[in-house]
Structure 1
């Protein structure tokens, strides 16, 4: 009996020891993760950048430094642009979100002071390869008038001043800073697939085709129109894909059209039921796949055409190779010319 009780006691002690070990590991894990006890400081509730309004008024440049890149927004004669884009305007909504966010940020609880934990909450100094984003406001004299290292863990925004080792949770929000292309205002065209009535295609070999459909018909209803009415479709999707390519227009970059070094290899003209035409020319450049746009104003489409031209005139927009190929198919991949010896056959689904 004594042996049995002794064995039970030993097992209980072993279980307690295991539980104590697990609790210790859990405590260490939470501590490493940066979940330290919040610290009340004299900064709580105060503006993170108290002089930001003055710095904003004098701003000539906003520089964002990340571990793997840096980029700048430049305040020039034509407004704010992304440096290196040839003067292309940045998105006004994102700029307003950044400026408003910086002005509204207030200090919250103090967090870790451990330099080794800064990267876990996105506050490692990017100049040393850390995970944070350094924001600097620079005036015309080249002086940094406001600066902040910011980061995010989940939905929580953290910040610290450069040179300080104290991390803080902050109240407020900032737009994403880790993709410089996201600052470009590349929302050029908004055309629904139902609006497209026809498309004219000219391929690299000089062949041409006109595809058309009636109002209210499906996306796969495009057919060769005069003088190509006797051509046979390879498939309906082979026709609808290029016919509706402009409705999926999503540039990934931009440069001045004056910087194009090649001649256009294809042409793609989209027509809408209400009279808008968008003439696109495609270029295979050494540095990527580009297109230029020109809207032809007609009828009810005049206002939209003018809006497109205001954004697109003078610029070449970069596309992914996949998207660019939708604007530049060979005519032979869409239709087959009529053969006198072959009977007409219906299009394949």
Structure 2
């Protein structure tokens, strides 16, 4: 009996083992798809050993939209931003990531499991996948790949990928930036002039000419900037209220950018409030800025502020403002101005809301509040005697004094 039981159990184990092996082989075949020999190969072999001049454009698309970056000679530009230069470091990181992306092991080959690894194409409603499309010179077919979820079960930069039109997914190793917003790809640092170099900033508002002012620091070793002009009888408020403008006037990281034609088209037909400020450095550089605040779609909330720059030199003046100030170097200032204009002319930059609030601060808000006038004390009203005014009280004058004899006369006449 015991031997028969053991034999039965052994047979059952063989059957279960065969079934498990069959299931495993079936699942393994659905993942491997006879593609195992590709492990370790580049995910985009078309890009291997490709010279930079052979790259024409790269486009990234997800469920929210797409961004296209094109090569123009030695530069990369953003057509959606009127051809504004893209950040070469970020484009370089993208292209290196694509060229070095390596397949490590196969994943699922079933289309119904693509959503689990974030590889449903954006055109099919995918919420995670980013389609990367690289156009090549010579009319060659573009290189395309879908980037999916990160594989958190592995260390490093593992992610799931697949080629469009192929259900086979792979785990790959590589780091690839994938934002599809054009603002991430452009060089947002419009100007960067150290505050230590700033000698003066003057701001003027076209619709409020009486609210303009100047911030001046003749001695670079001095503390802070002097606010002027001061209306008669007024004194400056707290210095931090205007020191922010002195710092940000020459330093701007833009929220967006567009060419002059596009900006003027967007601003046409709506009310635009204008202002300007001039920044002068000790060296002799002058940065002229034109501010434009567009109409707002929300009541009580200021509209977006855009700014346009032009650089020049300060030709007038009588040398350094103080013995501590450096001598002006107009030749160096002119070279610097030419470099700025080559990059800034023809472009409008959107100012972040927090920075824009400082640009539009009027003079009145920078002054100390006027002292409050003492409240008027109401005049005391005469207090009437008990019983009202008819009793006459002890008042010996006025109408009461003249009425008493009349009353007496009336009484005697009645006797």
- Are 1:255 and 2:258 matched, yes or no? yes
**Contact 2:290–2:307, Cα closer than 8 Å, also in 1:** yes
Relative to structure 1, the CA distance from residue 75 to residue 229 in structure 2 (aligned partners, 3 Å threshold; closer, same or farther) is: farther
Structure 2: how far apart are the matches of 1:197 and 1:121?
57
- Counterpart CA distance in 1 for 2:63 and 2:164 is 15
Deviation at 1:87, TM superposition (A): 1.4
Q: Determine which structure has greater relative contact order: mean sequence separation of CA pairs < 8 Å that are 6+ residues apart, divided by chain length.
A: 1
- Kept in 1, the 8 Å contact 2:293–2:305? The answer is yes
SS in 2 for 1:265: strand
In structure 2, what is the equivalent of residue 160 of structure 1? 162
Q: By how many angstroms is 1:106 displaced?
A: 1.7
Deviation at 1:291, TM superposition (A): 0.5
Are the counterparts in 2 of residues 242 and 329 from structure 1 also a CA contact under 8 Å? Answer: no
Per the alignment, do residues 119 and 235 of structure 1 end up closer, same or farther by CA in structure 2, a change over 3 Å counting? Answer: farther
- Within the alignment, does 1:65 sit opposite 2:97 as a pair? no
1:272 aligns with 2:274: no
Once structures 1 and 2 are overlaid, which stretch shifts more, 128-137 or 173-182?
A: 173-182
1:147: which partner in 2?
144
- Which consecutive residues of structure 2, in runs of 5 or more, have no partner in the other structure? 1-30, 296-302, 315-328, 372-415
Q: Cα gap change, 1:113/1:315 in structure 2, threshold over 3 Å: closer, same or farther? A: same
Give the equivalent residue in structure 2 for 1:210.
214
Alignment of 1:40-79 (within 5 A): 41-52=36-47, 57-76=53-72, 79=75
Structure 2 match to 1:200:
202
- TM-score w.r.t. the length of structure 1 is 0.74
Q: Render the CA deviation track for 1:118-176: whole Å, top value 9, x for unaligned.
A: 44544331212221110112357987421011134264333211122222222332223
Are the counterparts in 2 of residues 66 and 126 from structure 1 also a CA contact under 8 Å?
yes
Q: TM-score, normalised by structure 2?
A: 0.63
Tell whether 2:78 aligns with 1:82.
yes
SS in 2 for 1:249: strand
SS in 1 for 2:84: coil
RMSD after superposition: 3.3
> Does residue 1:134 correspond to 2:131, yes or no?
yes
Q: Structure 1: where are the runs of 5+ without partners?
A: 1-35, 340-349
Q: Of the two, which has the highest radius of gyration? A: 2
Map of 1:246 onto structure 2: 249
CA-CA distance at 1:335 after TM superposition = 3.4
Alignment partner of 1:326: what SS? helix
Match status 1:335 vs 2:364: no
